[in-house]
Structure 1
Amino acid sequence: MFLGQPAEEFQLLSLSTELLLLICELLDLTTLLVLAKASKRFHYLALPVYLARHGLPDSEPRSLALRSRAEILALPGLTLSLSITSLDHLLFDLDGVEDRFAWAVHHLLLFVHKLTEVRAVTLRLGNFMDYRWVDGFGTVNANPHRGDSDLTRLLTTILNRKCTSLTVIHGHFLASVLASIPAKAATATKRPDPGSSASSLTNLLKCPLHITHRRDTTKRVLYRNHLHTFGVHASILFMQPFYDWTIETLNTSNITSLSLRLSGMTSRALGVTLSNLTIPSLVTFAAETVAISFTDLHQFLLRHPSISHLHLHPHLNYHRSTKLPRRAKKKFLPQLTSVSGSARNIKVLLGQVPPSGLAQLQSITLSLPAHQRVFQSNDFEDLNKGIGEVLRSITPRELVVRFSLPFDKSREERLEVGENVASSFRSVEALTFCTDGHFAFVRWILPILPMWLTTFTSLRHLTLADDCAPSEPLTHTDFLRSVTERCPKLEIITLGAKEHRLLKS
């Protein structure tokens, strides 16, 4: 009740800091926020108490993660803070606050707007599958025809704050509600009938609007922001009103790394989207979307000879496409130095490259299916075939083997290996083992791994990720002894976070 009176009357500011802190501890959240606006001294006394009640530290963080509901509800206080002016990384997770979706996005917009810069941003939009988010999304997207929602303004503001890395995750919505949101017809190649179902976002999700961009880059203002890394892991970015923003951002940014991890989109929709993209600066590309056909991917890669790091889907196989394109006559991925994916995907991709064009390929990451059972010698023979299928006529120096549970056992195929595989195995100097988080590597593979390592006769650096490294001290010691005896050229063994350098006589 003293807040409405002049400070001089109660001499509140003349009280000691200890007494003011005791008073702050007795106030509710709303009053603390009002008090933090009263003066600079009250700001530095009341705001830390406000943030602490929301589970946030009162320090000056360089990274901020808002995951829980309480942390997200602290946004008004974070916006008010005088100490938080810039961030290196911001994580914002909306999963679990569907009923406050509009409120959360609006206040995040206000918070980001007051920052001078935020270098890396990760937005988890959540999967809103019930009625609670409907009103919120409608509020955030108040004028979808114009596309000037809080969410699009938030994305634009993030880019204007010198953001170099942006990842947007999830964002799956009820199709029945999306159907009520009108599409922006002005950019479509064909204008749908307003009364037909083709005007709904349900159909736009299946076939996004085809935007015709000028090919004359001299008339286009490029690199209007600092964005270099863009993770499109939310299907909503390829629906209106966000589709135009996404395409424009991809075509007018100096993007060196692009990741597509989408769901709910058809091959035709993704083909149209990829055909609208030309990113001359692209170096790293992750095509981890199920519905991307190899033909569309092939055309995209032909337009981007600058790509040196390529990540394919770790499970699904492109060779199941009805018709694969012929080997490209012009140079295909001339700068490719590393590639990852399933054995079949990598084999099909490298089949488009003449053998002379693989001289720079030095690093391969293979996702190989493995069964949760005791491994026998013939099981390692199958794994050798899986690796050899990719390494045929290639001599990489780095190999990463990622064990994963079979994605679809019924579709598993046996692989055959040619006679020249041994020479490829001998080229590997650095070998890394990791898993998908579900395969018990320590139990099934580790006991007889040292014997298998003898296949890699030039091995100098062995790495086992945290989920592959032995945890028991005795097992740890026995493994190191066994490996060093069988692999005399080994110089470094990295188990989890600990590196062991071997002394050579």
Structure 2
Amino acid sequence: MDSEFNPALAVGAGILRLPNEILLEVLQLLDPADPGIFALSTSCRRLHYLVLPIYLAGYGIPDAPTLASQDLTLLPGQLDVLGALQTALFLSNSSLKHIACSFSLNSARPAYHSRNLDGFFRHIRKLAGFLSILERVDEVTLDFKDLNFWVIGESIGVLESWNSAISALLDVILERHCQTLKVEGGMFMVHPSQFQRKPQALATVKRRSVIYDVGRRIGSAFVGKADAQPIFDSGKPQGGLRTFNIHSRVLLLHPCFSWTMAALSASPNLTSLSIIRVEIPERSWDDILTSIHVPTLEYLSIDLRSKIRPAALDQFLARHPLLTTLNLGRDLAPLAEGDVASKDCLRNLTNLSASPTYVRFLLADKRVAPAVRNVRLLVKVTSHATFDAASINETLAPCHVRLDSGHGVQLTLVIMVDYPSSHWAGFFAEEAHDNGSSSAPSPRRGANPDPLRCARALEMVSTRPSNAFEALALRWLPSFPALKALSFSGCLVNAHFDYNALSFVRCVRDACPNVRTVTLDGRVYDAVAVGMDGPLSWM
């Protein structure tokens, strides 16, 4: 067989006279990823429907015609197939449930060349082109975890190329009625002089740049209006973006920062916003919080290794009265002792996850978040930050009454243990100064109340199991008499063996008679049945 396959000659030679069964037998002899196969699929409608699925299968898409309303995941090595997908007549005007694309670019690599960046932008544009043929896509995930790009060593004009490519893709995503947009990862470095430091006040911003067309389609009446202006109709839902997960610094640095802020304001049905695992200059966070105004927001998660000014956080929360669930991650820098949220704030909040100073910030005044029913207290323990129960109780003393279960609040203590070794030495503050005393530390300091004793559930997650964990847990858990449920992940060595799990659950039940369930690495055990020497029981 001739190594150079010419589809035009093949068609001219009468290939269309063959039945489909024979054509398929012939095509199986060829490399399905051969560009000639794709060229043949463009020659006529019959061959398009017959041959293109074979070509796509060569890129790991085995049943392309059934993609409609399904999931599509493309890794960096598969992105070249996007051009072929854009020609697929069997996908035109159809819908995808979810598309996830992973991109790869490393400007720090010794062999890096500008053509690598050109290839990255080409894939971005091809994805936009493919999405443009669809009627809608419900969920989109852009994975930039393998992106490492330093603009500092590049021409400043490169930023405009980023702006053009990324913003155009994001515009198309919103135009396809995407309801959930996730942007994850990526190391994107720009010079401090390129940061957008002082964005204009939200009420006066003129958004006629990167997403003007999208904003106009969604409803120009919603863009650039004053804070007090209603931005959505209380009648029938209009569709559009509802969940936006910003887990990448790419969207929060210039040049994409403006697009992100405009998209948030131009999404009248956005109810869930997540900003986590993003590292940008600390001074930028006040600008970000000041720029975000989404009155429809109900679920918010912010998990950053950064410092947020209490005034900026307070004003942000006041602008979002519909919040019902708020997660302020354990890595946020602690607040000062006198910081308290504004009165009559967060009237609808029912679920709160935060570290001790933020719980105090929101619950010290009973007029703030009066409807809270579930509080997850987040504590991070490392070799440099021990578990200091007395200090936590002192921090939470102003809201002790509200954390009492008698007021209808379910308090869950969540501990993340991040130790480089499995010894867990100095877990408690008392041990750090007591050379590892074996006595159980007391949560009480002086006459202060003990909010931690109100905890009804305990969740502990460790980066590595410890041989010392079982002994530590058994002498520590009795300090929390209200515990009903325990969950341990990555803490106990050999927890997957039934005998070890059974023994540990029985010991926990003896130390804490009120505990009813114990979860070990995802398996839930009935502590009551196990404590009565019954058979091993999981739920």
Give the TM-score of the pair, scaled to structure 2.
Answer: 0.71
1:276 paired residue number: 291
Range moving further from structure 2, 216-225 or 17-26: 216-225
2-structure distance, mates of 1:232, 1:294 = 22
Match of 1:354 in 2: 366
Corresponding residue number in structure 2 for 1:32: 37
Q: Distance in 1 between matches of 2:156 and 2:34?
A: 23
Q: 479, 499, 508: which is aligned to 1:483?
A: 508
2:349 maps to 336
1:398 Cα shift?
Answer: 4.2
CA drift at 1:449: 2.0
Which residue identity is paired with 2:263?
Answer: T
Give yes or no for contact 1:102–1:136 (8 Å, CA) kept in 2.
no
Counterpart pick for 2:148 among 125, 128, 143: 128
Please name the residue that 2:379 is paired with. 367
- Alignment partners' CA distance in 1, 2:196 and 2:272: 24
Which residue is equivalent to 1:215?
226
**In structure 2, which of residues 522, 531, 538 is the aligned counterpart of residue 497 of structure 1?**
522
Moved more, 277-286 or 231-240: 231-240
1:145-184 paired onto structure 2 within 5 Å: 149-170=164-185, 172-175=187-190
CA contact (8 A) 1:363 1:399 kept: yes
What do residues 473-494 of structure 1 show as CA deviations (whole Å, max 9, x unaligned)?
A: 3322211222233333333333
1:254-304, Cα deviation, whole Å (9 max, x unpaired): 22222234433342x432332233222212222334143222112211222
Give, in whole Å, the separation in 1 of the partners of 2:492 and 2:50.
Answer: 48
Q: Is the 8 A contact 1:63 1:89 kept in 2?
A: yes
2:476 matches 1:452: yes
Q: Provide Cα deviations, 1:430-458, integer angstroms capped at 9, x if missing partner.
A: 332224xxx32444434432443333434
Residues of 2 paired with 1:230 and 1:308: CA distance? 16
2:121 to 92, 102, 105: 102
Aligned residue pairs, count: 456
Residues 1:474 and 1:215: Cα distance change in structure 2 (over 3 Å): same
Q: Unpaired runs of 5+ in structure 2?
A: 107-115, 205-223, 421-427, 431-442, 533-539
272 and 210 in structure 1: CA distance in 2 versus 1, 3 angstrom threshold: farther
Identity between Structure 1 and Structure 2 (%) = 23
What is the Cα-based RMSD across aligned positions, in Å? 4.0
Q: 1:316/1:130 Cα in 2 relative to 1: closer, same or farther (>3 Å)? A: closer
* Pair 1:250 & 2:261 matched: no
Please tell me the residue identity of whatever aligns with 1:202: S
2:513 partner amino acid:
P
What is the match of residue 180 of structure 1? none
Structure 1 position 44, deviation (Å): 5.0
Distance 1:467 1:116, change over 3 A: farther
Corresponding residue number in structure 2 for 1:194: none
CA shift for structure 1 position 357: 5.1
Matched, 1:298 2:317: no
- The whole-number CA distance in structure 2 between the counterparts of 1:449 and 1:206 is 48
Aligned partners of 2:151 and 2:372: how far apart in 1? 53
Rounded to whole Å, the distance in 1 between the matches of 2:361 and 2:328 is 11
Q: Which residue pairs with 1:188 in the alignment?
A: none
Which stretches in structure 1 are left out of the alignment for 5+ residues? 177-200, 374-378
User: How far off its partner does 1:226 sit?
Assistant: 1.9
Give the letter aligned to residue 243 of structure 2: T
CA change 1:420–1:22 in 2 (3 A) is farther
Aligned pair in 2 of structure 1 residues 117, 452: CA closer, same or farther (>3 Å)?
Answer: farther
Task: Give the letter for the 1:479 counterpart.
Answer: F
The residue correspondences of 1:405-416 to structure 2 (distance < 5 A) are 405=418
- 1:120-165: CA deviations, max 9, x gaps? 2222345433589969984x945x8xx7x23222212212222222
Distance 1:251 1:294 in 2: 23
TM-score when scaled to structure 1? 0.75
1:232 corresponding residue in structure 2: 246
Amino acid at match of 2:171: T
The counterpart of 2:72, out of the listed 32, 53, 64, is 64
Specify whether residues 337 and 105 from structure 1 end up closer, same or farther in structure 2 by C-alpha distance, changes over 3 A only.
Answer: same
Equivalent residue letter for 2:85: L
- Which amino acid in 1 is paired with 2:380? L
In the aligned structure 1, how far is the partner of 2:252 from the partner of 2:456?
42
Q: Corresponding residue for 1:90?
A: 99
Partner AA of 1:251 in structure 2: S
* In structure 2, distance between residues paired with 1:118 and 1:300: 31
Counterpart contact for 2:381–2:416, Cα < 8 Å: yes
Q: CA deviation at 1:342?
A: 3.1
Aligned pairs for 1:298-447 (under 5 A) are 298-319=314-335, 325=339, 328=342, 330-351=343-364, 353-354=365-366, 360-371=372-383, 382-383=388-389, 386=392, 389-390=395-396, 392-393=400-401, 394-395=403-404, 396-405=409-418, 417=445, 419=447, 421-422=449-450, 424-425=451-452, 427-435=454-462, 439-447=463-471
SS of 2:261's equivalent?
A: helix
Aligned-partner Cα distance in 2 for 1:218–1:205: 26
Offset of residue 106 of structure 1: 0.4
Greater shift, 275-284 or 52-61, is seen at: 52-61
Question: What is the alpha-carbon distance in structure 1 between the residues aligned to residue 157 and residue 419 of structure 2?
Answer: 38
Q: In the alignment, is residue 7 of structure 1 matched against residue 23 of structure 2? A: no
Q: 1:339 is matched by which residue type in structure 2? A: L
Secondary structure at 1:334 match in 2 = coil
Deviates more, 1:310-319 or 1:150-159: 310-319
Closer, same or farther: CA 327–23 of 1 in aligned 2, 3 Å:
closer
